[in-house]
Structure 1
Amino acid sequence: MADSAQPLSARARLAVTAGKAAAAVSRAAGRGSGSVIGGRVALKLDPDLLSRLAGHLDVVLVSATNGKTTTTRLIAEALRAGGEVVSNALGANMPAGITSALSGGTEARYGVIEVDEKYLAGVARDVTPKAIALLNLSRDQLDRAAETRMLAERWREGLQGTKATVVANADDPLVVWAASSCPNVVWVAAGQEWKDDAWSCPSCGGVLNRPGDDTWRCGECGFGRPTPTWILSGDTVLDPHGSAWPIALQLPGRANKANAATAAAVAALFGIPPQTALHRMQSVAAVAGRYDVVSHLGRDLRLLLAKNPAGWLETFSLIDPPPTPVILSVNARGADGTDTSWLWDVDYGRLAGHPIAVLGDRRLDLAVRLEVAGVAFAVHDTLQQALTQLPPGRIEAIANYTAFQDLRRLVGN
């Protein structure tokens, strides 16, 4: 366990107070939670505040292209079996948002922190984590984020020699290559449904051979899948001793079972047994609105977030079969990335047979993609218009980041 909390300096206390005040003003003005502006103000007054706030905590960092918010929540629930947890549960995952979150954790034992992929190495230097969970890397927001191999290289160089125990997905070659520079790695067979960013070897550029779903190896340099010690197998996770523990989540889908397997491996590093950790994860029914079922205008909408091709692929596996109606909503604002070319990497043919309504700022971009895919759809200007045209029954609403937030506001979630 980390050292007990030390009193903050006068400067640090002033920074925390000013940050909280700025956040409160932002909330009062209806500009969101205020966590980002609050953190920016606090860090401006004390640039070392993040490391000061984390000094007494046993910190876990979680980073990935997809699943980091949910996995952060699952780890936090598991670790609460051992003490109080502070976490950036709303997903503000850059240094300012992380600073705001930790400013409320003076009495906590654990800090469970989601970190944007680009900021992982820097945050790790600031907070000296005990564990780092690396889930996956895939294409996302190519107009603002680096190409996937460049991100993997940034992780590999930034985490080299870290004292943290890294819990990493053995099925993602980019993650394996990044984590291989770390001295202490726990490998988890968490699976990888999206493989289109990992056909070439990140080490030498050769072709990766995939003779089966559970193995991969470079035919040129021999870089290959490490032997995992935690294994997701259907509805169970096998621990390093070979014991099988059932995963019974309220959260749907294979990807969330993978998130739970990783969370169990992290919790075990802190002395929380798999049975206890997985039982506590059962209490999580939704994460920042994701997976919520909301009644609106006489219809039940399940809200699903999908931000990039890998995320859309996993989300399609969750939805109820045809003829369940589906709403698709896509924006391209700053937080989404303004480049919508990724739409062409998504296999929208999987939606054949579903009545589909298309919404969002970039609904016409999505309409062109669906037209080419040969999938029937209707374009609508508003959610209310879409609901009046869709057949009765539950509706699956899939949206990217800001479109998802728009939907949540419209349905009062």
Structure 2
Amino acid sequence: MAGNTEPLSPRAKLAVTAGKAAAAVSRAAGRGSGSVIGGKVALRLDPDLLARLARHLDVVLVSATNGKTTTTRLIAEALRANGGVVSNALGANMPAGITSALAGGSDAKYGVIEVDEKYLAGVAGDVGPKAIALLNLSRDQLDRAAETRMLAEKWREGLSGSKAVIIANADDPLVVWAASSSPNVVWVAAGQEWKDDAWSCPSCGGVLQRPGDDWFCGDCGFRRPTPTWALNGDHVLDPHGAAWPIHLQLPGRANKANATTSAAVAAAFGVPPLTALQRMYAVTAVAGRYDVVSYQGRDIRLLLAKNPAGWLETFSLIDPPPTPVILAVNARGADGTDTSWLWDVDYARLAGHPICVIGDRRLDLAVRLEVANVDFQVYDSAQEAVRNCPPGRIEAIANYTAFQDLRRVVGN
């Protein structure tokens, strides 16, 4: 429980010190924040360090295919109303990065931790979370994460009998199936724009029926649970039926859904919805996402989209034509090396926008746009693409490593 500040063992202290030193060396060498290498070194010296560091914290874990970094940030802001928070705010979401984050939070009350979907069950076993937020599951990095139902099954097995409060999206059948093995679930109607990974019943394999916002399996009876929290337009509806206005500086319906889940999580820790939602207004960008950067006389808005569901949500955010759009796609290790997902994205939604294509896999994307009958130009660099756009606003949409490349170029 929070407040148990039992000191770390000499071995654990050595591991923390060595990890911080490794991280500092990595930063000095210009290799990023150093959180991953620092965590790896620390865990090598003390394999139980993650559990030791979490012992005095009330921990929230956040996992999903999309939205987990933003939701983690929103929850952290809300819980700061009640006490100090330590969080892996930059998104290093595997055990090494999580260990590095927690090593810096000895005085915190709460740990708000984003967790990669594959590692959720293992991390939950280590840290004994008080709450777990499950937002969505959809296809992503097929070469690494495999099929979505397999991930849902890992969640279901790993969370079975968990003592944590599970705050789960009632509109995603895969999430509902995964969470249903837990005895204490708070259901949130957060919506599901992308449905192409949830047409078959995860319980029996039958075809799901989707009348309106509802869903159910006609074969086995598996169905959408009744939510107690809901996103309703620009408001969060709480379990008592009260409507609380959402005021965010982050754009789009998806972020309102993230705020709704975050309010439900905060309430599990005693933070009222009004307080939680007011505090979320302070978040203007998340690890560079949604930032608007001035570069070469243009105002470039940086948007991250890593998979078909993410691209679908992002297309709904961008300014209307004729605003130019830069699309950047890589396929490095952190992105997943399989680019077949490009064929699942409805790029016809970009019709009317001047489109510039960049990134390591720009030719893969060019073929996809050609088939979609969308006009585009391919450029060898971000600098060249920006130069060929008129002064004013540019929307830049990139997947993970392409997004980091773009941030380095434009100085964000």
- SS in structure 1 at match of 2:155: helix
Equivalent position of 1:75 in the other structure = 75
* Alignment deviations for residues 254-300 of structure 1 (CA, whole Å, 9 cap, x no partner): 00000000000000000000000000000000000000000011110
Aligned mates of 2:21, 2:394 — CA distance in 1: 40
Aligned mates of 1:309, 1:178 — CA distance in 2: 21
| Superposition misfits of 4+ residues, deviation over 4 angstroms | none
For the 8 Å contact 1:3–1:55, the answer to whether it is kept is: no
Alignment of 1:2-81 (within 5 A): 2-81=2-81
Equivalent position of 2:304 in the other structure = 305
Structure 1 residue 120: Cα displacement? 0.2
Equivalent position of 1:328 in the other structure = 327
* Alignment deviations for residues 318-362 of structure 1 (CA, whole Å, 9 cap, x no partner): 000001000000000000001100000000000000000000000
The Cα RMSD (Å) is 0.5
Alignment of 1:111-122 (within 5 A): 111-122=111-122
Aligned mates of 1:146, 1:114 — CA distance in 2: 20
Equivalent position of 2:348 in the other structure = 349
Aligned mates of 1:389, 1:129 — CA distance in 2: 50
Aligned mates of 1:170, 1:206 — CA distance in 2: 19
Structure 1 residue 4: Cα displacement? 2.3
Structure 1 residue 41: Cα displacement? 0.3
Aligned mates of 2:164, 2:108 — CA distance in 1: 19
Structure 1 residue 388: Cα displacement? 1.8
Aligned mates of 2:410, 2:385 — CA distance in 1: 13
For the 8 Å contact 1:95–1:119, the answer to whether it is kept is: yes
Aligned mates of 2:297, 2:320 — CA distance in 1: 21
- SS in structure 1 at match of 2:187: strand
Q: Structure 2: 5+ residue runs without aligned partners? A: none
Aligned mates of 1:186, 1:246 — CA distance in 2: 20
- SS in structure 2 at match of 1:211: coil
* Alignment deviations for residues 181-212 of structure 1 (CA, whole Å, 9 cap, x no partner): 00000000000000000000000000000011
Letter paired with 1:166:
I
Aligned mates of 1:392, 1:13 — CA distance in 2: 53
* Alignment deviations for residues 154-181 of structure 1 (CA, whole Å, 9 cap, x no partner): 0000000000000000000000000000
For the 8 Å contact 2:297–2:392, the answer to whether it is kept is: no
Aligned mates of 2:185, 2:17 — CA distance in 1: 38
Aligned mates of 2:167, 2:338 — CA distance in 1: 32
Letter paired with 2:53:
L
TM-score, length-scaled by structure 2: 1.00
Alignment of 1:261-272 (within 5 A): 261-272=260-271
Aligned mates of 2:98, 2:230 — CA distance in 1: 31
- SS in structure 2 at match of 1:143: helix
Aligned mates of 1:393, 1:352 — CA distance in 2: 19
Aligned mates of 2:250, 2:6 — CA distance in 1: 38
Letter paired with 2:407:
R
Aligned mates of 1:6, 1:40 — CA distance in 2: 23
Aligned mates of 1:53, 1:280 — CA distance in 2: 27
* Alignment deviations for residues 111-158 of structure 1 (CA, whole Å, 9 cap, x no partner): 000000000000000000000000000000000112000000000000
For the 8 Å contact 1:323–1:354, the answer to whether it is kept is: yes
Letter paired with 2:214:
T
Percent of residue pairs bearing the same amino acid type: 85
For the 8 Å contact 1:173–1:201, the answer to whether it is kept is: yes
The size of the alignment, in residue pairs, is: 412
TM-score, length-scaled by structure 1: 0.99
